[in-house]
Every structure is written in C-alpha cells, then in structure tokens.
C-alpha cells in the first residue's frame, strides 16, 4: 500500500469520516496522521491523532467501544478518508451512537437520521409474515 | 438559528460531510465558511468555499448536479457538519456518484460500499413473491 499519494495537510493530518458499515450511519469525524493511519492498518481498529492532546489515540481503548475497520477509501483529491467500521458500542464520548446527534439549532434529534433504512427494515419484517 | 455556536477553524472554515439522504452513501467532503453556510440555508442547496479558488461555489451550478438539502446536523464538538442531501446526479467531478470510489491502494472499487443495503433490498424483493 502506497500511502505517499495521500495528501496530509500542513499539520500532517488527514480528515477521516467514520461510517457504520452495517447501518451506513455517519458516526464521527476525526483526524489521522501518518502514524495513526499505519496503526489503523496494522491493528484493524481505528487510531486517530488528537489535535487538542497532540497524541495518538486508539478509539475505544478506554471505553471498550473499539471500531473494527471494514474498509478504508480515499476521495478523488486524495485528501479525505472514508473509514467504514463495525463499532463495539457508541462512537461519541457523550454516549450517543453518533457524534451527529443535534441539528444546527442545537436541538437533539428525536430519532436517528436513518428513517429510510428503518422504513425498509419494517417492510422486510412485514413481508416475512 | 444561532450559527455562533459553530467552531470555524483559523481559516474561517468548517468541514461538511455530504451524505445521500436516500441511500446513506457518503458522497463527498467539502468546506463551508459562514457565508456559504448561510447561502446553503437560504437556498436549500449546497454551497461551499473552494480552498483552491478561494471563492464560494454552488455545487452543481455548472453540471446541473445540485444537491437538495434534507438536513444539516453538527457534531458534539460543533466543528464538523453532516449535510444530508438528495443529489440530482453524480457528486464527484469525475462523474462518479461519490468522491470515495477508490480504496487506499488506488484501486477503483468494483461495487459501491453499500453492499448491506443492496443485500437488504434483494431480501425485500425476494420476500414479496
């Protein structure tokens, strides 16, 4: 794997969107540096670089809510990653499944934005009987 | 709507993940400044700030592939946006549906990473008969 094609920014970071591979829910966005990217590939779980603490961070190492990596893709510009994972638990430090749990008005979403999938699931269940 | 709670970076930008509201596929990531965010809210279609051209950019204005905004959420840190859209066509300038069409090895994905959804759809169809 040639990681040299990836464009890290002036701080040596690349944004990584984390998506649930089973539900397709977007869980969080965090930043990887080259070392955390290599550790992610090595271990099969997500590692990021904390901009506030300026250190590597293995998601779920403390909480147990690790994210098993299913796939890693890059965008057309090669400056953003999409990491699809199977999470062992909530991805947000607040205990929410996803970090995106509020609208722009600050209101907590009453239901996850996965209406279509849940609707589809209900059809599957209904049609079984 | 109080946009003052949002944390724009030192360049006045906030990353916006764009997701298809119908298929949940992650389509692209781009950056908004305050003005492009306001124009997005005003017009109901996505506006970004181009870092290379240093100008506002209405996605699809040239290609016709506009993105109708369904919802806009912020993450726990209030420094990343998740924009769910209904796109009129491919979101990538290459003509691909999503900008994330290659693995880290540079290989073009043979099928979209929406296997689960397509599998589920097949079950729905099968169970109908």
CB contact under 8 A, A74 and B103: yes
Which B-chain residues 38-97 have CB contacts (< 8 A) with chain A? 41, 71-77, 80-82, 84, 92-94, 96
**What SS3 class is residue B122?**
helix
Q: Is the pTM of this model over 0.90?
A: no
Q: Dihedral of CA B31/B37/B42/B44: which sign?
A: positive
Neighbouring CB atoms inside 10 A of A116's CB total: 15
The HSE-up count of residue B50 (CA atoms within 13 Å, CB side) is 9
- Chain A nearest CA to B32, separation (Å): 14
Q: How big is the CA angle at A92 (ends A29 and B32), to the nearest 5 degrees? A: 35
Give the pairing type, strands A14-20 and A26-32: antiparallel
Neighbouring CB atoms inside 10 A of B9's CB total: 11
Q: Is the pLDDT of residue B122 over 80?
A: no
Q: Is the pLDDT of residue B3 over 90?
A: no
Structure confidence at residue A3 (pLDDT) = 87
Structure confidence at residue A79 (pLDDT) = 97
pLDDT category at A128 given cuts 50, 70, 90 is confident
Residue of B nearest to A92 (CA): B76
Structure confidence at residue B112 (pLDDT) = 66
Q: What percent of chain B has pLDDT over 90?
A: 75
Rounded-to-integer distance, Cα B36 and Cα B24, Å: 23
Q: For the CA atoms of B48, B51, B54, B55, what is the dihedral angle to 10 degrees?
A: -10
ipTM: 0.88
pLDDT tens digits, one per residue of A30-58: 999 999 999 999 999 999 999 999 999 99
Query: Is A26 in the B-facing interface, judged by CB distances under 8 Å?
Result: yes
Q: Which residue, A65, A61, A83, A68, is CA-closest to A15? A: A83
């Amino acid at each position: 794997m040639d990681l040299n094609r990836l464009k890290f920014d002036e701080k040596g970071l690349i944004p990584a969107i984390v998506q649930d591979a089973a539900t397709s829910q977007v869980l969080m966005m965090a930043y990887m540096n080259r070392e955390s990217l290599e550790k992610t590939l090595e271990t099969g779980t997500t590692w990021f670089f904390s901009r506030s603490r300026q250190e590597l961070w293995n998601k779920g190492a403390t909480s147990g809510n690790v994210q098993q990596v299913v796939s890693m893709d890059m965008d057309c510009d090669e400056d953003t990653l999409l990491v699809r994972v199977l999470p062992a638990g909530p991805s947000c430090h607040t205990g929410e499944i996803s970090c995106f749990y509020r609208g722009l008005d600050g209101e907590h979403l009453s239901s996850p934005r996965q209406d279509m999938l849940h609707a589809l699931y209900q059809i599957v269940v209904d049609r079984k009987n």
